[in-house]
Structure 1
Amino acid sequence: AIESERNLCRLRHPNIVRFLHIAQPELATVVVFMELLDGRSLERFIDNKPLDELTIRDFSEQICRALLYLHSRQPPVIHRDINCLNIIVCSDNTQIKLIDFGLSIKLEQSVSHISASTKSPKGTLNFMAPELLGAGESDSVQYSRESDIWAFGCLIFQMASGGRPFANAKSLLEMAQLIDRRGAPALPDGRSAELRDFYSRCTAKDCRKRRSAEELLEHEFLRGGKLKKGFLSSLLAARK
């Protein structure tokens, strides 16, 4: 567990909370020093009200960059509990930080996809990928980069709708049945075609059809945001 926490201390990314130092003052005591964040969770920021599409685009790009960093490491870091409570919107209301890397459970299970398989799924019910709910052939739950991407898609749903996906599901079985019958819930009316397509590429029932964080960063939904930001910057500069 201590070595796993040391691995987390090596993470360096502007959209990931910093793990600063680990200490073991006593044999059975481990203390982790972390970056102090001033802000609120994305869940509180949303506050049951849909976000505008520019904000969804900005936050989604930052989360994608954090996931690309984690998933590209050797071994890959699988977060396993992507949800709106584990995203902090900093006090400037523009930068976000991914937090909570499973420190309340066995850390070695959250460090790589190889050792992240368990007999029963861990995480937040509404954000669990289909393959974590008994759809796989293995006796153990297989966590992967793709299960993080599904959870990211569920997070997009909450930003776009104001509420958690599958909000009425009360058990793993009920969740599995809902996903099996309907797939991921549809985004509300009024959202752009680009956002709908981006969301669908995160929430394919077949994990092999989900896009990687790297591919998602090249999607029109996020690239369009960059072009608009660049246009606005040029416009402001011209006015000055």
Structure 2
Amino acid sequence: GIRCAAKTLNLPVHLGDQKETKTKNIDAAVESERNLCRLRHPNIVRFLHIAQPEPATVVVFMELLDGPSLERFIDNQPLDEPKIRDFSEQICRALLYLHSRQPPVIHRDINCSNIIVCANNSRIKLIDFGLSIRLEQIVSRHSSFPEAPKGTLNFMAPELLGIAASECEQYSRESDIWAFGCSVFQMASGTEPFSKVKSFWEMARHLERSGAPALPDGRSAELRDFYSRCTARDRRERKSAQELLEHEFLARKSNSQR
């Protein structure tokens, strides 16, 4: 009796894969992702059930949210700084909750199309936790055809593209923070970062050469510094969600509400 959204994930199966091994690993991955159904936070979509009708098919049931994506809300027009501050604080609080779980929950696909603006444009919620990315990583790890990193290209951290000092090329809390920084860029500029880049290799070259794009003119020093702390090329230099919540750009909102 609950209206919900359902998303079906069809995982790629290649000839030559060890079926028994792959099925076992997919089953284990799906079981671990059922932890998403235990998440309870005002800025995170409710996961209601994860079903696996077939070994390579997963269906995710989530609460149905009424509102546009942040990308549609922006609609190619920059947001003012109070709105950027408000939305950024909510996203940071959601990330702090996820990243503080044991084990940490990594979103893996933060971008403005995976953030819903609801409750009279005052509350945002993260959706679509990159479950397909996680499961395809499991598939590729046991496949004779390994694939390039999955995700939204313009929001992928340098280390996922093999750039910058990093001991691994996997999704992490730091890669979530980078993607959040890219969402801040879109809120501040009205456009995606590297909006004209279309290929994996072209994106890698851009990031290696110049890192994250600069915010447009007219933005405050506090916002610029906040953005730079999300998008350090070396992931070890990026700030955590907790540290970002204590940053002057977001602290200004808390001070104004006292």
Q: 1:227 to 1:177 in 2, by over 3 A?
A: same
One-letter identity of the residue aligned with 1:151: A
Q: Does 1:156 align with 2:184?
A: yes
Q: Does 1:61 align with 2:89?
A: yes
Question: Which of 129, 133, 137 in structure 2 is aligned with 1:101?
Answer: 129
Q: What are the residue-to-residue correspondences of 1:59-98 with 2, within 5 Å?
A: 59-98=87-126
Match of 2:63 in 1: 35
TM-superposition CA deviations, 1:146-175 (whole Å, max 9, x none): 111011100000000000001111111111
* Counterpart Cα distance in 1 of 2:160 and 2:179: 11
Q: Does 1:215 align with 2:240?
A: no
- Does structure 1 conserve the Cα–Cα contact (< 8 Å) formed by 2:109 and 2:179? yes
Match of 1:49 in 2: 77
Match of 2:143 in 1: none
Give 1:3 deviation, angstroms.
1.2
Q: Does 1:172 align with 2:195?
A: no
Give 1:180 deviation, angstroms.
1.5
Identity %: 78
Give 1:228 deviation, angstroms.
1.7
Q: What are the residue-to-residue correspondences of 1:194-213 with 2, within 5 Å?
A: 194-213=222-241
Segment drifting more, 2-11 vs 22-31: 22-31
Q: Number of paired residues?
A: 223
- Give the TM-score taking structure 2 as reference length: 0.80
- Give the TM-score taking structure 1 as reference length: 0.85
TM-superposition CA deviations, 1:9-31 (whole Å, max 9, x none): 01111100001234556777654
One-letter identity of the residue aligned with 1:131: E
Match of 1:233 in 2: none
Q: Does 1:125 align with 2:125?
A: no
- Paired residue secondary structure (1:104): helix
Runs of 5+ consecutive residues of structure 1 not aligned to the other structure: 111-117, 231-240
Q: Does 1:229 align with 2:246?
A: no
- Paired residue secondary structure (2:85): helix
- The Cα RMSD (Å) is 2.2
* Counterpart Cα distance in 2 of 1:165 and 1:217: 23
Match of 2:32 in 1: 4
Runs of 5+ consecutive residues of structure 2 not aligned to the other structure: 1-28, 139-145
- Paired residue secondary structure (1:70): helix
